Amino acid sequence: MYKIAVAGTGYVGLVAGVCFAEVGHKVTCVDIDEKKVNVMKSGVSPIYEAGLEELMQKNYAAGRIDYTTDYESAYKDADVIFIGVGTPEQPDGSANLSYIATVARQIAESIEKDCLVVVKSTVPIGTNDKVEQFIQDFLVHDVKVEVASNPEFLAQGSAVQDTLDAERIIIGTESKWAEELLMNIYEPFRLPIVSVNRRSAEMIKYASNDFLALKISYMNDIANLCELIGADIQDVARGMSFDDRIGSKFLNAGIGYGGSCFPKDTKALEYLARQNGYELKTVKAAIDVNKDQKAKLYKKASKRLITFNGLKVAVLGLTFKPGTDDLREAPSLENVPLLLEQGADIYAYDPVGVENFARVHPEGKNGKGSITYVSHIEHALEGANVCFIFTEWGEVKAITPEMYNNLMRTPLVYDGRNIYRVEEMQEAGVEYHSIGRKPATREGIKESKKLELQTPIS
């Protein structure tokens, strides 16, 4: 078993640290935020992630994991140091590597024995070479240090499961020593390991994420065409999915991908290509489609309603996907300001994302409109003129078509996640617009409500 230090306790660092402890390694997680460190020591996870807190508590009690701000003591005699700090996107699309540089400097000044530094953060191709050079330049003690790449493929909401039961581990090394050391660290996981050189490992991460982003954008593009020609994207996806070469995953059209990885990694690779004098047309197309897709529902609804001024608008789901409280690049962040600008009175529901969202949009009057957070979906729907579904939470899926008809003032639903069958909404008398499918028209809507929906609400 090895002595491991992990720099950064976000999704990548904390989950990796906890999982290394779970398989028996001795782990110290380092973060600059003292408050966060104390919270973690008390057994509370700073992020919402299924199963994480239980493993934190179990491994802390067993003495296999600890948290500290004292990087020197954590790094000085570590066998391996994993770097899992953020590489946020900069305005030009490039990745901000300043957190990596800070940690690299701290490592160089702290290590007192031979050590392998493993970069888990997603970094532009060639960064690992630079990190190695940087650490060597600033080394204080006469020790051997090498840098390896070990990109992380976990998805938020299933991060622990994705790590303990990953489909593959990618390791990118430049020496037998580094390769064997990393193989040994991962041995207890009993997972397939793909060992390549450093640059290929860095590229595998971007190429994988960008391929998935492309797959989603492709389906969104086809969905938009389906609407125009009267095809149904879900039937189309089902038909495609039986082809093993295409596969059944990531064929869901919707209001565009969000999260910390796809938006950032597509832009970063496109930027990297540009820097190298190459136009990465496929990835650029994925980025463009995604940008348009996010405002798609809003545009559809604005045509239908003319104005949102004074309307009660139910918003179901704020996070970029279910199972996480993360809002990064969430479609809600794009659509809610548009609705507020138009004077909408928003009633928003999300099982875990409200706290984060309220930091950006505090409850109350907001520009021409207002926002109220509710803890029951029914309170959002009661008397609402229109409803937007941005995240496919289980709680949202549990709302029956009849409930929209019964609770809303006018049962008009814009669903960015294709949760319902068009027919069931039609039968329940709900006017329903989704992505890549025909709408459910207002036929069958109760007479009293029908009147109000006859013409655009203005």
Residues with catalytic function: 261
Cβ of 410: how many Cβ atoms within 10 Å?
A: 24
Containing 138, the helix (H) or strand (E) segment is: helix 127-138
User: Helices 198-229 and 233-241 sit at what angle, rounded to 10 degrees?
Assistant: 130
Containing 5, the helix (H) or strand (E) segment is: strand 3-7
Give the CA angle between residues 206, 12, 172 to the nearest 5°: 50
DSSP code of residue 322? T
Farthest CA pair distance, the chain: 83
Of the pair 110, 290, the CB lying nearest ligand UDX is at 290
Shortest Cβ distance from residue 305 to ligand UDX (Å)? 25
Question: And the tokens for 366?
Answer: 């907001």
Of the pair 145, 333, the CB lying nearest ligand UDX is at 333
Residue-by-residue DSSP string for 84-120: ----PBPTTS-B--HHHHHHHHHHHHH--S-EEEEE-
Cβ of 191: how many Cβ atoms within 10 Å?
A: 14
Nearest CA among 14, 26, 20 for reference residue 188: 20
Of the pair 110, 293, the CB lying nearest ligand UDX is at 293
DSSP code of residue 355? H
Shortest Cβ distance from residue 434 to ligand UDX (Å)? 13
Of the pair 13, 254, the CB lying nearest ligand UDX is at 254
Shortest Cβ distance from residue 261 to ligand UDX (Å)? 3
Q: How far apart are CA 367 and CA 317, in angstroms?
A: 21
Shortest Cβ distance from residue 246 to ligand UDX (Å)? 12
Shortest Cβ distance from residue 387 to ligand UDX (Å)? 19
Shortest Cβ distance from residue 364 to ligand UDX (Å)? 28
Of the pair 152, 202, the CB lying nearest ligand UDX is at 152
Give the sheet arrangement for strand 345-349, strand by strand.
364-366, 369-373, 345-349, 312-316, 386-389, 412-415, 431-433
- Round to the nearest angstrom and report the end-to-end CA distance of the chain: 67
Cβ of 427: how many Cβ atoms within 10 Å?
A: 14
Give the sheet arrangement for strand 65-68, strand by strand.
65-68, 26-30, 3-7, 80-83, 115-119, 145-149, 169-172, 193-196
Shortest Cβ distance from residue 135 to ligand UDX (Å)? 25
Shortest Cβ distance from residue 397 to ligand UDX (Å)? 14
Of the pair 266, 405, the CB lying nearest ligand UDX is at 266
Q: How far apart are CA 311 and CA 233, in angstroms?
A: 30
Of the pair 260, 410, the CB lying nearest ligand UDX is at 260
Q: How far apart are CA 110 and CA 89, in angstroms?
A: 29
C-alpha neighbours within 13 Å on the C-beta side of residue 1? 9
User: Where do contacts with ligand UDX occur on this chain (CB under 6 A)?
Assistant: 152-156, 209, 216, 250-252, 254, 257-259, 261-262, 320-321
Of the pair 97, 253, the CB lying nearest ligand UDX is at 253
Give the CA angle between residues 205, 209, 212 to the nearest 5°: 145
